[in-house]
Amino acid sequence: MNRIPARLAAPLAATAAVSLALSGCSGKSSGAKHAPAPSANIDANQLTTGTATGPLDSVTWSGDYRAPYSLDPLKTADYPEETILGNVCEPLLRTNPDYSLAPGLAKAWSQSDPTHIVFDLNPAAHFSDGKPVTPEDVVFSLKRNTDPNVASNYADSYNPVADIAATGASQVTITLSRPNYLFVRNMGILAGAIVEKANTVAAGSDFGSATGKLVCSGPFTVDSFDGTNTLVLKKDPNYWDTKHAAKVGKLTFSFPQDPQSFVNGLTQGTMQGAFDVPVSALSALQKATDGKLYVGGEGSTTQNVDLIVSKLDGGLKDPAVRQALSLAIDRAGIAKSIYAGAADPLYAVAGPGFFTSQPDQVKAVYQAAYDKLKVTPDLKKAADMVDQAGAKGKTVKIAYAADGGPFAQLAQVLQQTGNAIGLDLKIVGLPMQQYGSLFTDPKARADYDGFLTLNYMEFPDVSTMYTSYATKDGVQNFNGYDNATVQALVDKAAGTDDLAKRADFATQAQAQVMQDLPWIPIVAPRALVWQGKQVTGAPLTFSYMSYAWGAAVGAP
């Protein structure tokens, strides 16, 4: 869910950005020295760029900041894999561009009681080699998530699962160990991807490697992959669901590393589309005429940039100090200058991106709770809080990925903010590999009080976000935060299928977590999608991270 932001370096004027953010800190409004911030041009209810009317021979899309490590849908949960692999290995259910679930390999599903989910498979569904998708394949695929030898990146999502079994000739039942109405969402993302058992077993450790054979069900199959530069998908002409068949004969993904090369690829037409456009490319793409840069509004993705507190016994031990730091951060200034306006200040880790897709009444509950958390940066009050906590002059060491992107600038702003309120805030830029090990290795993060991250969730749900980092077993709980009230509330939220009740529980949990601040939210990047004139049909929501979006892309 977190990503290692070792991506296109942002050649923004670092000093300008920092000084702007600082002038914001001291209460003055940020100057307008920058290019005008991109204004949102996607309607709240516009879910795709349009409807494709005809086929196309070939389309090239940006596969994000690097090539996939593996084609095994379970191996790594990050932007490139999740953007691409849903087109080849469909999950059990489909996720629509509005994040709702829809029938797919399972033609129907029901959760008649809080601990059992029954899936009826579509008898027409077959794999790319023509063999039918059987309950045995489904049980095998889902159970791979719990096998340590597979080391699924989604293993934690299966914590609530007690059993997965075939319960009929075309039926699979998942039994949960406690009431949970949110688990089923995982069947609409790669955590629920279905692979053919026979092929997967035969491939052994070669499964998912660039040269290994992949047999799944999806509108595309893998044509070629060199492991580094290009991944070519081709339309599966025998795909069982003609309504969702691909319109594009060949869908190629390339992975430009250099910001200029990325922009040139898009504006010269060697690439026709890109999700997750880096901030450094914005001004060039806004000027370009051979396509359109779609800019989402506030809450258009679940992406969130946070300071993860990595230990609760160091310089950030006292919650009052964390609150002071959070109060002092000039979120609006950061969003405006470092993110060029393509982000919004974020006052709760699960901000608007996690609830804008809810029905209006439910959304209002979340919005009201969120609005209560909004603060105006107040350096003086924050300095007093640090003083009262007896933390004046205490050392706080924060790590960030030094390989590019906005994190270096963000770290500088945090440093200035921390020092302004009396902390001795030190920042350490780490190379990608070392930064990455902060997430996976407790020893690596023991040296730091916190580190910066860009985080996201595949499906928007407030309580799931807090479960992932603010509960004992949360896979993103890096600091050992444990609060019985929060645990009970998120369990209740997952255990009810009443959306309003869930919102009540989730917002109560949120209030507690945002007071304790095991993570400090900073900004929420907006959806940024580029699409060339020759194509249409791409999704504008973050749903591209989970489904076979490529099937809908075609000629305008």
Partner 1 sequence: MTARFLVRRLGGLAVTLLLASMLIFSSLYLAPGSPENIVFGNRTPSPAARAAVRHQLHLDDPLPVRYWDWLTGALHGDFGRSMVTNQQVSDRVGAGLATTVTLVVLAALMIALLGLALGTAAALKPGIVDSAVNVYTSVSVTVPPFVASAVLISTFAVKLGWFPASGIEDGFWGRIDGLILPAAAMALISCGFLARVTRNAMREQLAKDHVQTAMVRGLPRRHVIRRHVLRNALPPIVTVIGLQVAGLFASTLVVESAFGVPGIGRLTIQSVAQKDFPVVQAVALLLVTAFVVANAVTDLVQGLVDPRLKTAGGAV
Residue with smaller CB distance to partner 1, 390 or 431? 431
Closest CA to 465 of 326, 397, 366: 366
> What is the smallest separation between the CB atom of 437 and partner 1, expressed in angstroms?
5
> What is the smallest separation between the CB atom of 20 and partner 1, expressed in angstroms?
26
Q: Any contact of residue 290 with partner 1 (CB under 8 A)?
A: no
Q: Any contact of residue 66 with partner 1 (CB under 8 A)?
A: yes
Q: How far is the C-alpha of 377 from the C-alpha of 388, rounded, in Å?
A: 18
Q: Any contact of residue 432 with partner 1 (CB under 8 A)?
A: yes
Q: Any contact of residue 41 with partner 1 (CB under 8 A)?
A: no
> What is the smallest separation between the CB atom of 26 and partner 1, expressed in angstroms?
35
Residue with smaller CB distance to partner 1, 1 or 194? 1
Residue with smaller CB distance to partner 1, 230 or 286? 230
Cβ within 8 Å of residue 205, ≥6 positions away:
none
Residue with smaller CB distance to partner 1, 129 or 156? 156
Q: Any contact of residue 206 with partner 1 (CB under 8 A)?
A: yes
Q: Any contact of residue 2 with partner 1 (CB under 8 A)?
A: yes
Residue with smaller CB distance to partner 1, 171 or 209? 209
> What is the smallest separation between the CB atom of 330 and partner 1, expressed in angstroms?
27
Q: Any contact of residue 212 with partner 1 (CB under 8 A)?
A: yes
Q: Any contact of residue 518 with partner 1 (CB under 8 A)?
A: no
Neighbouring C-alpha atoms within 13 Å toward the C-beta of 346 = 30
Q: Rule CB under 8 A: choose which of 92, 174, 184, 210 binds partner 1.
A: 210
Q: Rule CB under 8 A: choose which of 19, 173, 209, 483 binds partner 1.
A: 209
Residue with smaller CB distance to partner 1, 155 or 375? 155
Write the Ramachandran bin of 554: left for phi over 0, alpha for psi from -120 to 50, otherwise beta.
Answer: beta
Cβ within 8 Å of residue 359, ≥6 positions away:
499
> What is the smallest separation between the CB atom of 419 and partner 1, expressed in angstroms?
28
Residue with smaller CB distance to partner 1, 230 or 512? 230
> What is the smallest separation between the CB atom of 178 and partner 1, expressed in angstroms?
20
Q: How far is CA 300 from the centre of its chain?
A: 12
CA distances from 483 to 188, 442, 503 (A): 30, 20, 19
> What is the smallest separation between the CB atom of 141 and partner 1, expressed in angstroms?
17
Return the range that interacts with partner 1 (CB under 8 A); candidates 204-212, 298-306, 389-397, 414-422.
Answer: 204-212
Question: What secondary structure does DSSP assign to 146-201, as a single string?
Answer: G-TTT--TTGGGGTTEEEEEEEETTEEEEEESS--SSGGGGGGSGGGB-B-HHHHH
Q: How far is the C-alpha of 32 from the C-alpha of 25, rounded, in Å?
A: 15
* Of residues 164-203, those binding partner 1 (CB under 8 A): none
**DSSP H or E segment with residue 79:** helix 79-84
Q: Any contact of residue 268 with partner 1 (CB under 8 A)?
A: yes
Q: Cα-Cα-Cα-Cα dihedral of 203, 208, 214, 218, to 10°?
A: 150
Structure tokens given for 70: 């593996």
Strand partners, 172: 119, 166
- The size of the interface with partner 1 (CB under 8 A), counted in residues, is 61
Return the range that interacts with partner 1 (CB under 8 A); candidates 74-82, 417-425, 517-525, 526-534.
Answer: 74-82
Q: How far is the C-alpha of 436 from the C-alpha of 482, rounded, in Å?
A: 24
Long-range contacts of 552-555 (CB under 8 A, 24+ apart): 552/48, 552/51, 552/52, 552/247, 553/52, 553/56, 553/59, 553/247, 553/248, 553/251, 553/273, 554/52, 554/53, 554/54, 554/55, 554/56, 554/247, 554/248, 555/52, 555/53, 555/54, 555/55, 555/56, 555/247
Q: Any contact of residue 534 with partner 1 (CB under 8 A)?
A: no
Q: How far is the C-alpha of 82 from the C-alpha of 153, rounded, in Å?
A: 11
Cβ within 8 Å of residue 212, ≥6 positions away:
71, 203, 206
Q: Any contact of residue 388 with partner 1 (CB under 8 A)?
A: no
> What is the smallest separation between the CB atom of 312 and partner 1, expressed in angstroms?
16
Q: Rule CB under 8 A: choose which of 158, 239, 240, 439 binds partner 1.
A: 439
Closest CA to 420 of 458, 463, 384: 384
* Of residues 456-515, those binding partner 1 (CB under 8 A): 475-476, 478
> What is the smallest separation between the CB atom of 205 and partner 1, expressed in angstroms?
7
Q: Rule CB under 8 A: choose which of 15, 100, 229, 238 binds partner 1.
A: 229
Site string for partner 1, 120-149 (x = CB under 8 A): ----------------------------xx
- Beta strands 343-345 and 248-254: pairing type? unpaired
Q: How far is the C-alpha of 242 from the C-alpha of 122, rounded, in Å?
A: 14
192 C-beta neighbours (distance < 10 Å), count: 29
Amino acid found at 551: A
Place of tokens 């409807």: 51
Do 330 and 468 form a contact (C-beta atoms < 8 A)? Answer: no
Q: Rule CB under 8 A: choose which of 16, 37, 118, 155 binds partner 1.
A: 155
Q: Rule CB under 8 A: choose which of 120, 129, 156, 516 binds partner 1.
A: 156
Chain positions contacting partner 1, by CB under 8 A: 1-4, 6, 66-67, 69-70, 75-78, 148-149, 151-153, 155-156, 205-206, 208-212, 226-230, 254, 256-258, 260-262, 264-265, 267-268, 270-271, 403, 431-434, 436-437, 439-442, 444, 453, 475-476, 478
